[in-house]
Each structure stands twice: as structure tokens, then as C-alpha cells.
Amino acid sequence: MTPKRHTPENENRLKVNAWYTKHQPLRQTRFLVTGLEASVESIADLFSWKGGVHHIVLHLLSTCAELRFVHLGNAIVAGMETGDDPFQHFDDMVVKFSETITEGLLGSDEAPFAWIHVGHGDHDGHEAFLSDGSEGEGPYLETAKIAEAIEAMKGTCSYICLPVCHSLPSKLALEACENTALVFGSAEDIVTEINTQCIEATLNYAELKSRMKSVILGERHA
């Protein structure tokens, strides 16, 4: 009997299904924002200031929610093959705000669903750095050490956005993690207009679905 041959489209679908069955990104429930001032404790606080960084964060959180539905759609298709019910992992999302990376991100052994840092970025030509908090004069953390910490966490961090200066080196370091998916940060120099980077990271459902497919088929996280 001739073995059944899958078309390239079917092969790709099987790879996507296998990724969702293995990684189950819907288990992660935290949207984490670091680098904001202490006065921001909830989403409602973002509406109390017109424009600027707060407005950008709202846009990015909306994209994170859209990515959640991309994952749900793919997980439902994967579940048809395995019998797994993705809704059992579809818990309510929690948006957490923290002044610092140390407290908000590094203080947990569970990867967030999404992480947005609106502090500052830098590099010395070799090493990439991110400010721990929002003030440029404060301590800077080696992005490589942050990447190591994320990689040691449970679960997959589906979305990272770094709308900061010199964000490209940090993006590349975080993209190399085995448990990160979509990472955004394109600034090679000083950011004079934060909107530019955030527009790149604010994608619709179809764009997010396409990006996730590329990440999975690229076998960076097989």
C-alpha cells in the first residue's frame, strides 16, 4: 500500500499543530509592563494621561490580546488532532505593571504571556543593556542575563516589545531564547519618535498569525 503523502501545506499544518500541542502558550496569563512610573497600577491609569508612552502601551496590550486569539484558533485546530480542549487553559488574563524588570519579570519563575518594557536601552558595541526601571540614570541590566532568566522560566513568552533606544541588540539577545516567540525592537540608535517602533509591533490578527507561523516553521522553537 502506497503511504499517504502530505502536501507542503499539510506538512506545515502538522508542524504548527505539534508546536501548539507541545508548548501550549495559552497557559501563560500575564501581560507584563515594566519601566512605567509607580503611579500606574491598572489599565485605567493609562487613560489618565494624554498620549505618549501610556497611549503606546494601550495599543501594544491590544495587540497582545489579539495574539491570544491567534493562539486559541491554532490550539483549537491542534486539539482536533489530539483531543485536547484548549479552553481548559484559556484563563482570564491579568495585566501587571511594575517599575522595574527585577521586580516584575525576574521575580517570577513563570514566563509572562507578553512583556513590554518602556524604560531605556543601551549597548557598548558588544553587550546589550536595558534599564531596570524608567530612569536612564538608574541601574542597567545585561540583556543576556535577562534572556538567561527568561529561558529558565516555565512556559513560552509569546510577545516582547522594547520601544526603547538601542533596542535592536537587546531584541536579538531575547530572540535567541528557546521560549520566546515574537520579539520587537528595531532601534539602532537614539529613539526620537517612540511611535515608529510601536507601529511595527502593533499587528492585526492575520499579521500575527503569519508571524507565528514563520517562527514555528523556522524551527527556532521546535
- The residue-averaged pLDDT of 45-74 equals 87
> Would you say residue 68 has pLDDT above 90?
yes
Domain ranges of the chain: 26-217
Task: Give the tens place of pLDDT for each residue, 118-151.
Answer: 989 999 888 999 999 987 667 999 999 999 999 9
Cβ atoms within 10 Å, residue 204: 10
Q: What percent of the chain has pLDDT over 70?
A: 91
Residue 92: partners with Cβ closer than 8 Å, 6 or more residues away:
29
| Coil, helix or strand at residue 186 | coil
Q: CA 58 → CA 33, 48, 76, 142, distances in Å?
A: 10, 12, 28, 27
> Packing angle between helix 52-82 and helix 8-23, nearest 10 degrees?
110
pTM for the model stands at 0.90
Cell of 73: 484558533
What is the pLDDT confidence band of residue 5, given thresholds at 50, 70 and 90?
low
Q: How confident is the model at residue 53 (pLDDT cuts 50, 70, 90)?
A: confident
- Write the DSSP string, 54-102: HHHHHHHHHHHHHHHHHHHHHHHHHHHHH---GGGG-PPPEEEEES-HH
